[in-house]
Amino acid sequence: MSNEATLHGHAGIDTSHDIGHGEHDVHHHKETFITKYVFSQDHKMICKQFLITGMIWAILGGAMSVLFRLQLGYPDSTFPWLEDILGKWAKGGKIEPEAYYALVTMHGTVLVFFVLTGGLSGTFANFLIPLQIGARDMASPFLNMLSYWFFWLASVVILCSLFLETGPASGGWTSYPPLSALGGASEGSKAGMDFWIIGMALFVVSSLLGGLNYITTILNMRTKGMSMTRLPLTIWALFFTAILGVLSFPVLLSGLILLLFDRHAGTSFYLSDIFIASTNTALPNEGGSAILFQHLFWFLGHPEVYIIILPAMGLVSEVMSVNARKPIFGYMAMIGSLFAIAILAFLVWAHHMFVTGLNPFLGSVFVLLTLLIAVPSAIKVFNWLTTLWKGNIRFTPAMLFAIGFVSLFISGGLTGIWLGNSTLDIHLHDTLFVVAHFHIVMGVSAFFGMFCGIYHWFPKMYGRYLNNTMAYIHFWVTLAGAYLIFWPMHYEGLAGMPRRYLDTSGWHSFNNFIGLNRFISTVAMIVFAVQIMFVFNFFYSIFKGRRVTTQNPWGANTLEWTTPIHAGHGNWPGEIPEVHRWAYDYAKDGREFIQQTEPISASESKH
Amino acid sequence: MLKSIEINSVSGQQKRIHPHKFTLWVAIGSIIMMFAGLTSAYIVKRDQPGWTTFEIPKVFWFSTAVILLSSVTIQLALKAFKEREMSRYKNLLTATALLGVVFVILQWIGFSMIWNSGITFHGSGAAQFLYVIAGLHALHVIAGVIALIIMFGKAFSKRIRTYDSIPVEIVNTYWHFVDILWIYLFVFFLWIQ
């Protein structure tokens, strides 16, 4: 289907739907396997492509963390089977230092970018934007398809880097120079780093193409009556996410281009006359500033954490309101706080650099701006709790994950107030306290938001339900596991235990954590196993799950539930429905829910 | 077409700005951020030891004149297209693409003049930034030339005749943007050394 056809309301397609809708008539697009499943321009198929690619990455990235937790929990043991899968990277069944750093680096890169950015935004922006605003497809389905295929290419490049002789990038997911700029600095700084830079550049292109489309579609393609203030909060969240991405990813790209020049052309943007002990020589470079890269990186890096968490917030807001059978509390305050977070996201990057010799006065400005984020965050938490308050709660798996999200967001957010203080950061930076903080507040939280979205919209995506028993096991083990893994890390971090270290047994002071480390590693393995069960549930249910028999199984108000159970390309068989009200008319005038398409009647009370 | 207009009026999709045009404006914002990142890196770097400067070769004035001229030709091309003067449109499109190529060649000559004066990639001064920043800008101009060639192919196609001015307007806007971007970069390099 051409872009023009999409923009002009699919005049031709509408009629074909009218004739043979339901039997999935063969004549309706002349779709082949290639155009339907591979180079598809249907936003619903692109969503599934992003989701499944993201899931593959999540398994790989999660498996990496299990491997390095094995090292951290059992630093003295050997596991011969490790040599079978990792070869020379685990000689004698013990992970080599180089391999350990590579695992940590790739775990971060994969989870932050490929799962929680590509997999999360890519999936739900693609799926929900056209369906919830009432559009046939994205503004440009072709660019949307390209967005996925650039993501795919980036994935292939990063995947290939895992099999290089010198291994993948190993300088941390932030890739700070000089480590990342000097091929001689470590094994991972050789070809692995180039693959990392190329993979990330492709990823940036993918997320830009996606973001352009999301913004344009939301602003220009809404159906009649769908004013901005009638949009579900999912769309608002995805909108701000896309703006953050479009404005911050290009800055990362410029930082990476300069890094590439330093690596291969001999420029000195980041490199200076560093003395290298191993070769006993000094670099010919002069005047480079490694801090410059940190500024460019964190100008993306900080908005990036909001790129990860905002979609999760949007999904949770929507699912929570639907399943509490109550309107979301403080709709405008929710939008306002999303906006405030999006603005502040660009003004706090230097709080990642408190200990780089940053001017203390500048530091105090960034402390103030950082702590300001607590205000919109608290507004959101307050609104979620008041949405639950006296609600008629249905504890569906999606709802449980939504509530779990709020719990984790509070727990992780509180430690953010600690870390936002430049004085406390002197002690806490680069310890496991930081690791615990960001894993809870953005890692696990965002995963909970994503699970909440998958459990809620799976029936719309595949026309079947996920298995509930497995879903409940998945939720409870993951929630308990997340706290059991990361709560103890706070104590280790407060005691000064550094992150990214292969082995801390050299310090007597950390020896009393041996048991705790073993405990964390054991729980991590259990939680990982449960995620595999979720993946099984996902694929099993696509083919064998209980069938959806009604259009609107959750009794929700938004437009996606007015489409047929198996919606074709174009989403609505007839005309796009008109919208008459906001998305949150639950428990109004004694009615359980009123869909957005229902006109406001004369006797209705105001909300 | 009639039917689609009808549907639009029913579904009420606001048509103040064509979505593809809007996409371009967002993309322009994104490109601006990339160059803003690079030029602010330049400003930060300028205050650090080891900063070196160079004299901007005269040829960059010529390339600036060329890209300014190309903006005029593409504007005239759009006007010709809207007036259905297809042969004039094709000629102006060709002229614009050629001027774009000339611009890139002049930039390349400018780079070689700096390079031959002994300022290579080694170092971390203004010239190294110029190579990277102006080089990336030239890539954006080349992308514009490719877009022009596609438009050119469309205009010569015997099978399909299109009178939809949206693609022409999009290429036109993009071309003006890379022009203005270069003016900004040029003034930046002239003033801040």
Shortest Cα distance, chain A CAs vs residue B116, angstroms: 16
The domain in which residue B59 lies consists of 20-191
Which of A151, A168, A192 lies closest to A56 in space, CA to CA?
A: A151
Q: How many domains does chain B fold into?
A: 1
Q: Does A303 touch chain B (CB under 8 A)?
A: no
* CATH number of the structural domain spanning residue B118: 1.20.120.80
Q: Domain for residue B14, yes or no?
A: no
In this model, does residue A124 exceed pLDDT 60?
yes
Q: Domain for residue A65, yes or no?
A: yes
Q: Does A266 touch chain B (CB under 8 A)?
A: yes
Nearest to B29 among A247, A261, A285 (CB): A247
SS (H, E, C) A190-253: CHHHHHHHHHHHHHHHHHHHHHHHHHHHHHHCCCCCCCHHHCCHHHHHHHHHHHHHHHHHHHHH
Instruction: Give the tokens for residue A383.
Output: 């609104």
Q: Domain for residue A162, yes or no?
A: yes
Q: Domain for residue B85, yes or no?
A: yes
Q: Which of residues 141-170 of A touch B (CB under 8 A)?
A: 143
Which of A471, A419, A473, A474 lies closest to A441 in space, CA to CA?
A: A419
Q: What pLDDT does B50 receive?
A: 79
Q: Does B154 touch chain A (CB under 8 A)?
A: no
Q: Does B135 touch chain A (CB under 8 A)?
A: no
Q: Nearest chain A residue to B51 by CA: give it.
A: A287
* CA atoms of A87 and A84, how far apart (whole Å): 6
Q: Domain for residue A492, yes or no?
A: yes
The domain in which residue A499 lies consists of 39-275+285-593
pLDDT tens digits along A369-392:
999 999 999 999 999 999 999 999
Q: At what angle do helices A331-345 and A290-324 cross, to 10 degrees?
A: 170
In DSSP notation, A350-418 reads GGG-TTTT--HHHHHHHHHHHHHTHHHHHHHHHHHHHHHTT------HHHHHHHHHHHHHHHHHHHHHH
Percentage of residues in chain A with pLDDT exceeding 90? 82
Q: Does A292 touch chain B (CB under 8 A)?
A: yes
Quote the Cα angle for A37-A39-A44, to 5°.
Answer: 55
Shortest Cα distance, chain B CAs vs residue A342, angstroms: 16
Q: What pLDDT does B107 receive?
A: 96
**Torsion angle of the four alpha carbons A343, A347, A351, A356, in this order, in degrees rounded to the nearest 10:** 150
Q: Domain for residue A438, yes or no?
A: yes
Shortest Cα distance, chain A CAs vs residue B34, angstroms: 5
Q: Does A78 touch chain B (CB under 8 A)?
A: no
In this model, does residue A16 exceed pLDDT 60?
no
Shortest Cα distance, chain A CAs vs residue B47, angstroms: 10
* CA atoms of A506 and A509, how far apart (whole Å): 9
Q: Domain for residue B1, yes or no?
A: no
Q: Domain for residue A5, yes or no?
A: no
Q: Domain for residue B15, yes or no?
A: no
pLDDT tens digits along A293-304:
999 999 999 999
Given an 8 Å threshold on Cβ–Cβ distance, is A212 in contact with B17? no
Q: What pLDDT does A30 receive?
A: 66
Shortest Cα distance, chain A CAs vs residue B36, angstroms: 8
Shortest Cα distance, chain B CAs vs residue A251, angstroms: 5
Q: Nearest chain B residue to A284 by CA: give it.
A: B122
In this model, does residue A29 exceed pLDDT 70?
no
Q: Does B115 touch chain A (CB under 8 A)?
A: no
Nearest to A8 among B4, B31, B132 (CB): B4
Given an 8 Å threshold on Cβ–Cβ distance, is B4 in contact with A9? yes
Query: What one-letter code names the amino acid at A580?
Result: H
Q: Which of residues 211-230 of A touch B (CB under 8 A)?
A: 211-213, 215-217, 219-225
Q: What pLDDT does A101 receive?
A: 95
ipTM value? 0.90
Q: Domain for residue A389, yes or no?
A: yes
Rama region for A9: left / alpha / beta (φ>0; ψ in -120 to 50; rest): left
Q: Which of residues 335-374 of A touch B (CB under 8 A)?
A: none
Q: Nearest chain B residue to A209 by CA: give it.
A: B27
* CA atoms of A540 and A528, how far apart (whole Å): 18
Given an 8 Å threshold on Cβ–Cβ distance, is B19 in contact with A248? no
pLDDT tens digits along A338-354:
999 999 999 999 999 99
* CA atoms of B55 and B65, how far apart (whole Å): 19
* CA atoms of B82 and B76, how far apart (whole Å): 10
Instruction: Give the tokens for residue A461.
Output: 């995506």
Mean pLDDT for chain B overall: 88
User: To which H or E segment does residue A592 belong?
Assistant: strand A591-593
Q: Domain for residue B8, yes or no?
A: no
* CA atoms of A180 and B32, how far apart (whole Å): 27
Q: Does A288 touch chain B (CB under 8 A)?
A: yes
Q: Does B8 touch chain A (CB under 8 A)?
A: yes
Least confident of A21-25, B37-41, B78-82: A21-25
Shortest Cα distance, chain B CAs vs residue A211, angstroms: 9
pLDDT tens digits along A80-95:
999 999 999 999 899 9
Q: How many domains does chain A fold into?
A: 1
Q: Domain for residue A569, yes or no?
A: yes
SS (H, E, C) B7-73: HHHHHCCCCCCCHHHHHHHHHHHHHHHHHHHHHHHHHHHHCCCCCCCCCCCCHHHHHHHHHHHHHHH
Q: Does A257 touch chain B (CB under 8 A)?
A: yes
Phi then psi for residue A89, to 5 deg, are -75, -10
Q: Nearest chain B residue to A10 by CA: give it.
A: B4
Given an 8 Å threshold on Cβ–Cβ distance, is B10 in contact with A575? yes
Q: pTM to 2 decimals?
A: 0.92
pLDDT tens digits along A151-202:
999 999 999 999 999 999 999 999 999 999 998 888 899 999 999 999 999 9
* CA atoms of A178 and A289, how far apart (whole Å): 9
Contact residues on chain A for B174, CB-CB shorter than 8 A:
none
Q: Domain for residue B6, yes or no?
A: no
Q: Domain for residue B70, yes or no?
A: yes
Q: Does A286 touch chain B (CB under 8 A)?
A: yes
Give me the mean pLDDT over the B120-144 stretch: 93
Q: Domain for residue A13, yes or no?
A: no
Shortest Cα distance, chain A CAs vs residue B9, angstroms: 9
Phi then psi for residue B16, to 5 deg, are -65, -40
* CA atoms of B157 and B160, how far apart (whole Å): 6
Q: Domain for residue B2, yes or no?
A: no
CB A265 within 8 A of CB B121: yes
Phi then psi for residue B139, to 5 deg, are -60, -40
In DSSP notation, A507-572 reads -GGGGGGHHHHHHHHHHHHHHHHHHHHHHHHHHHHHHHSPBP-SS-TT---SGGGGS-TT--TTS-
Least confident of A77-86, A569-578, B153-162: B153-162
* CATH number of the structural domain spanning residue A388: 1.20.210.10
Least confident of A274-283, A536-545, B4-13, B40-49: B4-13
Contact residues on chain B for A246, CB-CB shorter than 8 A:
26, 29-30, 33
* CA atoms of B95 and B88, how far apart (whole Å): 10
pLDDT tens digits along A389-431:
999 999 999 999 999 999 999 999 999 999 999 999 999 999 9
Distance of CA A491 to the CA centre of its chain: 27
Nearest to A287 among B22, B27, B50 (CB): B50
Given an 8 Å threshold on Cβ–Cβ distance, is B27 in contact with A208? yes
Pairing mode, if any, of strands A591-593 and A586-588? antiparallel
Q: Does A505 touch chain B (CB under 8 A)?
A: no
Q: Chains A and B: how many Cβ contacts under 8 Å? A: 148
Contact residues on chain B for A211, CB-CB shorter than 8 A:
26, 30
